[in-house]
Amino acid sequence: MIQLDFAKGNGLLPCIVQDAQTNQVLMLAYMNEESLQKTIETKLATYYSRSRKALWVKGETSGHYQHVKEILVDCDEDTILIKVDQEGAACHTGKYSCFYRNIEGDEIL
């Protein structure tokens, strides 16, 4: 198994989340070693919440779980890409993706 470089990010690495069927980028979150291990074990996307300073299983309160299909690592081993089957919305606003606006603020999705 690849040893990710969590030290580069002070214990946290960015995690890009992508729809496994469409390849649409859904969100960006952060993972520590514990959240990555839990994700691998449960096949449910688990992140580290920087605001709550705790692990966070995506969907545990909303029901919008992310079922992990594949975990990829970038060439520098300091960024994670997770492909998921998304239940409901990925964004806390209720949108399917967090990336639903252009830089001018216009909704594109």
Span 54-94, pLDDT tens digits: 999 999 999 999 999 999 999 999 999 999 999 999 999 99
pLDDT of the residue at 15? 98
If one looks up domain 14-86 in CATH, what number appears?
3.10.20.810
CA distance 1 to 11: 18
Contacts 24+ apart (CB under 8 A), 70-73: 70/20, 71/39, 71/40, 73/2, 73/4
CA distance 48 to 52: 8
Task: Scan for tokens 């992508």, then name that residue.
Answer: 18
Give the pLDDT band of residue 30 (cuts 50, 70, 90). very high
- Tell which residue, 61, 58, 62, 22, has the closest CA to residue 43: 58
| pLDDT greater than 90 at residue 109 | no
Position with higher pLDDT, 95 vs 9: 95
pLDDT of the residue at 87? 97
